[in-house]
A and B are shown apart, each in its own frame.
Chain A
């Protein structure tokens, strides 16, 4: 399958700071990228869908001004958690996919965010 990377793999920050997470599709051009968060012992919850060159579509209950998503190219999407607070501590996972064919999504290894 296709390879998706995330950077950083983990990050610890102080409350009130902003953190940027990068998601890259390494060997294919992804028309769509998705951002998920996962709390301990829970399943993945979709936060937003981003298409290259357009604004992200956020799921209900996700603050777009807090979770800024940029999808500047077909291989890179970024998620910025602004003014992070301890309740934002979570495992953030991105995926990249195509809108044609089988619509298979390929997932990154995730980023563990801990806000002190």
Chain B
């Protein structure tokens, strides 16, 4: 059974810092991995999707990497801003289905 874990559970950084969020999964047979952002009481905003054949994806200040063999992904946020404060979720899709298995989330607070 696929399990997805995110470390740290919470993170507080001063504005301007670069930071890394970690996601690990137990079954390396994945179809893709997605990173999402969730603001309090809101739905999910897709940030980046990495297909199993890819190693990384970039969008603006965000860079996500994927190492299937070790079951890990990282989300790098450069020059963090207070507006980046949110919960970040990673999710993996198994090889046989379209189902997304979500991680536990990292609550990020960027202090001005």
A78 to chain B, nearest CB (A): 17
The number of residue pairs between A and B whose CB atoms lie closer than 8 Å in the complex comes to 58
Query: With A and B bound together, what is the CA distance between A102 and B41 in angstroms?
Result: 28
- Main secondary structure on chain A at its contact with chain B? strand
Is A67 positioned at the interface, with any CB of B under 8 Å from its CB? no
Please indicate the chain A residues that have their CB under 8 angstroms from the CB of B77 in the complex.
none
Please indicate the chain B residues that have their CB under 8 angstroms from the CB of A112 in the complex.
41
* Total interface residues in chain A, CB < 8 Å: 24
| Chain B 37-65 residues near chain A, CB threshold 8 A | 41-46, 49, 51
List chain A positions with a Cβ less than 8 A from chain B. 1, 6, 32, 34, 43-46, 49, 91, 93, 95, 97, 99, 102-110, 112
Please indicate the chain A residues that have their CB under 8 angstroms from the CB of B91 in the complex.
44
Contact yes or no, B42 A110, CB < 8 A: yes
Please indicate the chain A residues that have their CB under 8 angstroms from the CB of B32 in the complex.
102-104
- 6 A-B Cβ contacts within 8 A? A44-B44, A97-B98, A102-B32, A104-B49, A109-B42, A110-B41
Query: With A and B bound together, what is the CA distance between A99 and B49 in angstroms?
Result: 15
Which of B36, B44, B51 neighbours the largest number of chain A CB atoms within 10 Å of its CB? Answer: B44
Query: With A and B bound together, what is the CA distance between A34 and B104 in angstroms?
Result: 19
| Chain B 85-112 residues near chain A, CB threshold 8 A | 89, 91, 93, 97-105
Query: With A and B bound together, what is the CA distance between A107 and B89 in angstroms?
Result: 13
Query: With A and B bound together, what is the CA distance between A99 and B99 in angstroms?
Result: 11
Given A102-B32, A103-B32, A103-B93, does the pair A49, B46 have CB atoms closer than 8 Å?
Answer: no
Query: With A and B bound together, what is the CA distance between A103 and B50 in angstroms?
Result: 11
Please indicate the chain A residues that have their CB under 8 angstroms from the CB of B104 in the complex.
43
In chain A, what residue has the closest Cβ to B45? A107
Contact yes or no, A99 B103, CB < 8 A: no
In chain A, what residue has the closest Cβ to B105? A43
